[in-house]
């Protein structure tokens, strides 16, 4: 799986202004709902929040990978977001999150879901990758770093 298979420049956002985990997920849901007609923003937000209630998707070093399965999702879809200011995401290391990769997956894509999560965790687990994302001048630069 290549990140370029699931991410587009239009779904890469730099310096999104949100003050909380809930507001961040709500804003991302609204943006995706506007860009992609197959997703209802309220359904998407509820699915992401429900997943977060099972355990935070903040895995440390300022990174979160919110993800959910949706009946309306026909293909794996990703969104890359850098926040203007880090927010508390109940991450395992208790550090606030400023980089997120939101992953939307069809209900039946169990193995693919796990493989993509592993790929993303590996990429975001690299300190050089995280640093480049944080220093990127805009969303276009972030996209190019992500798909390189």
Alpha helices in the chain (DSSP H): 21-35, 41-54, 110-124, 127-135, 139-147
CA distance 72 to 106: 7
Q: Is 67 a catalytic residue?
A: yes
Confirm if 78 and 104 have CB atoms less than 8 A apart: yes
Which residue out of 11, 21, 67, 82 is catalytically annotated?
A: 67
Residues identified as active-site: 67
């Amino acid at each position: 799986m290549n990140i370029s298979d699931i991410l587009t420049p239009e779904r890469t956002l730099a310096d999104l202004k949100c003050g909380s985990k809930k507001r961040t997920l709500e804003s991302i849901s609204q943006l995706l709902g506007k860009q992609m007609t197959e997703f209802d923003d309220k359904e998407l937000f509820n699915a992401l929040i429900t997943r977060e209630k099972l355990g935070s998707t903040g895995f440390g070093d300022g990174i979160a990978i919110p993800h959910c399965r949706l009946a309306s999702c026909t293909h794996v879809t990703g969104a890359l977001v850098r926040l203007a200011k880090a927010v508390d995401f109940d991450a395992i290391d208790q550090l606030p999150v400023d980089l997120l990769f939101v992953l939307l997956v069809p209900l039946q894509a169990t193995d693919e879901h796990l493989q993509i999560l592993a790929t993303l965790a590996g990429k975001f687990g690299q300190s050089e990758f995280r640093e480049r994302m944080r220093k990127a001048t805009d969303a276009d630069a972030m996209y190019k770093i992500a798909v390189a």
